[in-house]
Amino acid sequence: MRFLKFFFTITIGVAWASAQEPDFRLNIDARNVSVNVNVLDSAGRPVTKLTKDDFSIYEDGVLQDIQTFESVEIPYNILILVDCSASTEADWPLMGNAIDRFASKLRPQDKISVAQFGAKTETLLEWQPRTGDSLGVTIRANSKSCEGTDFYGALENAITRFRGISGRKGVVVLTDGVHNLFPIQNMVVAGRIVRRVGDSADDKDFQRTLNSVSRSDVVFYFLAVNTDLNPDEIGVSPTGGRAGGGNGVYNPELIYNMQQARSRMQQLAAAAGGRVDFPKKPADVAPLYEVIASDFGTNYGLWYSPKRPAESNETKPRKIDVRVKTPGLIVKKSRDSYTPSTR
């Protein structure tokens, strides 16, 4: 079973409208803002020979100084991190092929490692360059590491795996974003008390992980399964188990919890200069892996320190604009804006 297995049982009875979208706000350290950029020509082909002098970054219309520039040619070290708790069970049979397809898109100078996580993180493949052979990676579903889900701990562990490694760094995480120790709050919905996952702003463990991610030089991409945007095709019963028959009926009161998990992944990806993709079925995972691998192999890394310091209690997002000197080129950047944090 996926996401709902990890939550509590709630009786159906509240309308869909009661599960309102939680506020999404990205807070990142205003002293170090990173942006990943892919540049395409008019035919949609990657442009990979640009230099630092070809780029300009503007924040709220003010030209910024690019502190660090990483060209396309710099090697990438990429960790594939797979949630092996029961929440991603439907994806396990296809993961070996998906990982091989990802690795096939890497360049000779790149390296890959694979790990799985549940309550703990377990290495499945140590760092190695791309090869023409299958990596032979399979999910060890019976491992004790897969019992429970320490989502935040897995991300913190992923960052530590890059210590002492030179070159650019990226992590691709397959997960539903569930964390066993989500804070739970009592909320009044339609005149009665309902237990729900607390907001990310009040989740101290999440804020600590978000801070670690935003301060690191590791880019995080998420393949988010069974969120409110791409729920399982098989229905889920009011008791949290599979309803069977693929009728697509879901407990509307749990949508709020799914939104909370999805919002956390979006905040983490945005803070790291990555993104979140939403495969609708297990077969979509391998093609998305290939797209992400191609992105890694053709993007530039830009870092700048904003000229305007962060203000206390600043709430208005700052707009980021990346431009190139050559006319006619298309710029795709990893983030359009951010809200600075003084924490």
DSSP state of 310: P
**Percentage of residues in the chain with pLDDT exceeding 70?**
84
Mean pLDDT score, 24-36: 60
- Which pLDDT belongs to residue 209? 96
Are 331 and 204 in the same domain? Answer: no
First and final C-alpha spacing in the chain:
38
d(C-alpha 341, C-alpha 343), whole Å: 6
Question: Nearest to residue 269, comparing CAs of 219, 230, 317?
Answer: 219
Q: Per-residue pLDDT averaged across 216-243, rounded? A: 70
The answer on 252 and 133 residing in a single domain is yes
Domain CATH code at residue 151: 3.40.50.410
Over 60: is that where the pLDDT of 274 sits?
Answer: yes
User: Using one digit for the tens of pLDDT, what is the confidence trace for 167-204?
Assistant: 899 999 999 999 999 999 888 877 888 888 999 999 99
- In the chain, % of residues over pLDDT 90: 62
Are residues 190 and 213 part of one domain?
yes
Using a 10 angstrom Cβ sphere, with 0-12 exposed, 13-18 middle and 19 or more buried, the burial of residue 39 is buried
* 15, 149: one domain: yes
The set of residues, in sequence order, having a beta carbon less than 8 Å from that of 92 and lying 6+ positions away, is 84, 139, 141
Burial of 186 (0-12, 13-18, 19+ CB in 10 A): exposed
Domain match, 252 and 191 both? yes
pTM of this structure: 0.81
Per-residue pLDDT, 233: 60
CB 271 within 8 A of CB 221: no
Residue 7 is predicted with a pLDDT of 40
- Specify which of 237-241, 269-273, 305-309, 328-332 reaches the highest per-range mean pLDDT: 328-332
Residue 307 backbone zone (phi > 0: left; psi -120 to 50: alpha; other: beta)? alpha
Q: Are residue 62 and residue 155 in the same domain, yes or no?
A: no
Q: How confident is the model at residue 31 (pLDDT cuts 50, 70, 90)?
A: low
Same domain, 112 and 206: yes
Same domain, 44 and 130: no
The confidence score (pLDDT) of residue 115 equals: 97
Q: What is the pLDDT of residues 211-229, one digit of tens each?
A: 899 888 899 999 999 898 9
- Could you report the per-residue pLDDT of 60-84, keeping only the tens digit for each? 999 999 999 999 999 999 999 999 9
Amino acid at the residue 137: V
Angstrom distance (rounded) from CA 95 to CA 143:
16
Q: Give how many domains the chain has, as a whole number.
A: 2
Please state the rounded mean pLDDT for residues 218-245.
Answer: 66
**237, 120: one domain:** yes
Mean pLDDT of the chain: 84
Q: Are residues 140 and 212 in the same domain?
A: yes
- The residue segments making up the domain with residue 162 are 3-25+72-298
Same domain for 167 and 53, yes or no, is: no
Spatial neighbors of 191 by CB under 8 A, at least 6 apart, are none
318 and 219: one domain? no
Place of tokens 């049982």: 9
